[in-house]
Structures are given as structure tokens and as C-alpha cells.
Amino acid sequence: MASLIEGLPDAVTLQCLARLPLSFLPALHLVCKSWRSTLRSPDLFHLRKSLGTAEPWLCVCTKASAKIWQAYDPIRNKWTLLPPLPSTIPDLADFGSVGCDGKLYVLGGMSEKEKGPAATAEGWAFDPVTREWSAIANMITPRAYFACMVYEGRIVVGGGYDVNRKPVFSAEVFDPEKGEWRPFASLKWWLYPVARGVVHEGRMRVFHVWEAQSQVYDPLTDSWECEECTWAGGRMAVVNQELYVLLRVVRNYSEHGSSFAHRVHPLYTWPEWVDRKLFGVIGMGSELYLVGGTMRTPSGAAAGDNETLNDVDICTIKCGTENLKWRKGASMPLSGANVQGCTVLEL
């Protein structure tokens, strides 16, 4: 069998390929079949991780753009449109989404148009190397509007609403290597379902709808413990291993409409907005990203008017910094109204 590059051992060639920017890979697929096979190998992904050359991409899906995900490359400040999600469910919403093991996963959700069952168990994985979506095994329990996290290299989902629009407190875990779901420790019952989750300091924490209540997973006992959480209503992101929470605390249109908070303590006012909502927030490395959404217009405009934002606002956070600085990233090519999915994909 011929080597990938004449005169070079394949192991050396793989080391070279692992150091190339992610944007080069689609063109390199065209070289020959052996190159295409190598570029699609899990070995390349694991090597990029071990070398520290894996690149994070921000993946966003909005209600307005339906099943078309937009991927942002922070190194090149450029957006790319992904192929449409092949799900047959119309107006899929309230799904879970995470980046895991070099792929983007979209799980569960519900149709906002059709009556009947309100949740699906289907799941999809997008491979950024092949630029293809593929169906994965269905979840054990159909669910929508649920917590979805990556924990120790596997995907954990829990809570949400079932096909009868009733709260569900089961949890399950997906192993990307085996391609299968198995039951996980069930959540404690509560009046309202779990809808969001975050992994911080190696611990999973999930949050209930409309409640200052959370549950934390204890791996030693393989169980969830309830904890009060006064900042449960904010949007959350982990930056530099610290958990940041964004809370809307101002309603006076003569002032800025929202505040940026870290564990509930206000640090910084968001740049130039009044009542920004339905946006996405995510941490990548040492930076916090606020993506899309809508902005209520200042007083004097027509009542109920909202402006759609395609903006990407980026804040670099350094330890001990109080005077934080914001900058603009490239605007999203499609509408940023009502962000449904916002996650980081590393490859």
C-alpha cells in the first residue's frame, strides 16, 4: 500500500495533517482516497487533541433559520453554513445540543407546529470533516426542553417534558464510541421539571424551570442532591474554569437594560443594549460570547417593536480584571432571532 506522502512515514504525515487549520481539511479530502480515509479517521481527531491543535468552533441554530446551523470560526472571524439537519420534524425546537468527541449532537426536541406528541427521542450527529449529518440511536425517553451536558467524555441528558407534555425526571447517558444510550441516575422529583444544565469544576448541575432550585450530581453516591440556587434564572457560561451568570436586573430605558454578573455579583454592564433577549451565551477558552437575539427598542418607538440582532459580542476575561472590554465578531449570515442551540464544537 502506497504511503500518504512518498518518502515519508504515514505517522509523520499524520503529525503534519494534525497541525493544519480545520478549514483546510475539506480541500485535502480531494487529494485521493487514502487521504480522505486518513482525514476521517478518529486517530486524527485524538492526535489534534493531544497536540493542542484542536480548534473550537461556535455552533448556533436559531428559530428563524430552522434546521440550518451556523458555525463561527473565531480564528478567521468567519461564519460557515452547515448542511440542513435532515430531521423530518417541522419547526424542531427545544432540543438539546452539545459538541462531543469532535462532532455536533442535536438531541430530542419537539415540533412547534404539529399537535400530538410533544417530544421526540431522535438524535443526530454532524461530522465537520465529512460535513455530513447521521442519525444516532434514539434516546430511551423522548424529551424536550431538558438539560444536556458533556460529562467525562459522554453526553448526559435529564429532565424536560415527555410526549404527553408532562415533566420527566429520568436521566440517561450516551457513549459516542459505543453509539448507545443507557440509564443514568434519576433526578429528584420536583414541582417543576429540569430544563438546563452546566458542568463546572467537574460537577454537573441542573436547574428547574421557574425555581431557584438546582440539583448537583455526586459521582461517589451516583445520585443527585438538591441545592438552593438564587441565580438559577440567568444565562450561564464557563470561562477560564469560572462560572458566569448573566442576569437582567434593570428595566429603566434611560439606562442599560441588562447586567453582566459573575455568581450574581454585578461586574459589568452589557454594551449598548436595552432588554436584549432570546440570545445565546457560551464560553470558549478565555472569552465569553453573546450571540444573536432580539432587542426591545427604546421608548418612543412603536409599542412591542423588536430589533433582530445578528451580532456576535465577545468579551475577553482575565483573572482579576474589572474593566472588561467587548469587541464585535463577524455578524451571523442568517437571522439571529431566538437562539435555540448554542454550543462549542472542537476538532
CB-based burial label for 301 (10 Å; 0-12, 13-18, 19+): exposed
pTM beyond 0.85: the answer is yes
Treating both helix axes as pointing N-terminal to C-terminal, what angle do 10-17 and 42-51 enclose, rounded to 10 degrees? 60
| Torsion angle in degrees (nearest 10) through CA of 56, 61, 65, 70 | 0
pLDDT at 299: 54
Q: What is the CATH number of domain 1-54?
A: 1.20.1280
pLDDT at 322: 59
| CB neighbour burial string for 52-62, b if at least 16 within 10 angstroms, e if fewer | eebbbbbbbbb
Q: In what order do the strands lie in the sheet with 70-73?
A: 78-81, 70-73, 56-62, 339-346
pLDDT at 319: 65
pLDDT at 62: 95
pLDDT at 27: 85
pLDDT at 216: 96
CB atoms within 10 A of CB 180: 12
Domain ranges of the chain: 1-54, 55-84+234-341, 86-232
**Residues recorded for the chain:** 347
pLDDT at 274: 52
Q: pLDDT of the chain along its 347 residues, tens only? A: 468 898 899 999 999 999 988 878 878 888 999 998 888 888 888 899 899 888 999 999 999 887 999 999 999 999 999 999 999 998 899 999 999 999 999 999 998 776 666 899 999 999 988 889 999 999 999 999 999 999 999 999 999 999 998 999 999 999 999 999 999 999 999 888 999 999 998 999 999 988 888 999 999 999 999 998 877 777 888 988 888 887 654 444 334 444 444 443 344 445 444 577 889 999 998 899 999 998 876 654 555 568 899 989 998 887 655 567 789 999 999 999 999 999 999 98
Same fold, 1-54 and 86-232: no
Please say whether the structural domain 86-232 has been given the CATH code 2.120.10.80.
Answer: yes
Phi, psi of 170 (to 5 degrees): -80, 165
Strands 171-175 and 306-308, sheet pairing: unpaired
